[in-house]
Structure 1
Amino acid sequence: MHVRAYMRASTEDQDAERARGALAAFVHERGLTIAAWYVENASGSQLARPELFRLLRDAHPGDVLLIEQVDRLSRLTADDWERLKAEIATRQVRVVALDLPTSWSMATGEANAFTARMFEAVNAMLLDMLAAVARKDYDDRRRRQAEGQARAKAEGRYKGRIEDVARNDGIARMLGAGMSWSAIGATTGASRSTIAKVAKRGRLAEQVAVGVEIGSIPFA
């Protein structure tokens, strides 16, 4: 049995490594070690999370997926949560969360068969509940944010996010030089969504330039 720790933060501005100390202390108290760490900056509302699915691919039956809080694993819609649960079940991975004490015994596997099955049933129910609460919290915050922006726009106060022009110009140059998105992200600290926007802007600019060029050719 291996313990695989998963840490996630929603944006590049947040520290995904923040929970490392708490997770390390948890396993140390139980005489365990963490076999591998999986860290990423990605929204918990999205199912597409490369590091989480790399963890599941690496895992063996009986391994532990260790998280600080259930919302690090899921702020998913009900359908996507069911898909993720199905993948976890297929891999026979046990989810242990620091904010879910009933799951802690699953980290050591010391319970007898009956007790283990009982805890698995209880944890499945609690995981569903906490995942639903996490999604509701996400939806509520998005709604409040949209309402606040709407009020600010109506009052002429909303300016939107200020673009980091120098950084984005650098990203455009790196894209033009053929650098990979991963290398660009590591160099500039930009998220993949930001790199995608700069890349799209560059493609549109090229299309416009080609159109102007073609339009300038006189007909015979």
Structure 2
Amino acid sequence: MYIFGYLRASTNEQDAKRAQDSLKAFVSEKGHRIAGWYIENVSGASLQRPELMRLLEDAAPGDAILIEQVDRLSRLDDKGWSKLKSLIQEKDLKVISMDLPTSHVALSNQVGDEFTNSMLRAINNMMLDMLAAIARKDYQDRRRRQAEGIIKAKDEGKYRGRQADEALHQKIYQLRVENGLSISDTARLADVSGRTVIRVVNKLKELNPHPY
């Protein structure tokens, strides 16, 4: 069994690698090591996650996905979570989460009888569903509170909206347009997504043919 670490943060401003050392120490204590890392900054409420899909493609039947918490794997709605579970089950992959003790048995070298193993899988799957539902509710509650805060700020005349990072936009434009780098190289050097590069460059070109 190979163990693959999956690390995710929602935005580029957050450190997706924050829990990497904790995951390493966790599996080391169990007598295992992590075969590879898959790291990305994408919302857990979306299935459009290139690194997670790459992990699912690379993994072989019987391998394991290691995460810090279930919300790193999913903040999906019921339909999205069902789809992701199907992809995991099609490859017969185990999900090991540090916040889900019932999943830790996958790292044990002890082999139980068929009934015991079936019961443990059933319990673990139930707990995964519960934690995924809690993660989704937390995501929805935070979005609701954010929207309520914006409405209140607008009513009080204090809302300015999300301010653009002009220095970052300038860097993106210079790398992509003035230096002629590819979208992927620009995204890597500016530490943003390829979609952000395209959006920023197009916006600046529309506003001014020579914005900087």
Normalising by structure 1, we get a TM-score of: 0.87
Please state how far the C-alpha of 1:180 moved relative to its aligned partner: 2.7
State the AA in 2 paired with 1:120: R
State the AA in 1 paired with 2:38: Y
State the AA in 2 paired with 1:101: P
Deviations 1:57-83 (A, max 9, x none): 110111010001000000001101101
Deviations 1:152-178 (A, max 9, x none): 011110112222223212312333254
Where 1:18 maps in the other structure, the secondary structure is: coil
Distance 2:5 2:173 in 1: 35
Distance 1:21 1:166 in 2: 32
Distance 1:164 1:61 in 2: 44
Match of residue 216 from structure 1:
none
Where 2:13 maps in the other structure, the secondary structure is: coil
1:177-192 alignment runs, 5 A limit = 177-192=179-194
Check the 8 A contact 1:97/1:103 in 2, yes or no: yes
Match of residue 132 from structure 1:
133
Distance 1:49 1:110 in 2: 34
Deviations 1:100-142 (A, max 9, x none): 0001001235332222211111111111111011000000000
Match of residue 119 from structure 1:
120
Distance 1:100 1:8 in 2: 17
Residues 160-169 or 49-58, more deviating: 160-169
CA RMSD of aligned residues (A): 1.8
Residues 158-167 or 6-15, more deviating: 158-167
Match of residue 167 from structure 2:
166
Runs of 4+ in 1 over 6 A off after TM superposition: none
Of all paired residues, the percent bearing the same amino acid is 49
Q: Which has the higher helix share?
A: 1
Please state how far the C-alpha of 1:200 moved relative to its aligned partner: 3.3
Question: Alignment length, in residue pairs?
Answer: 207
Check the 8 A contact 1:106/1:116 in 2, yes or no: no
Normalising by structure 2, we get a TM-score of: 0.91
Check the 8 A contact 1:44/1:74 in 2, yes or no: yes
Greater Rg, structure 1 or structure 2? 1
Distance 1:200 1:5, change over 3 A: same
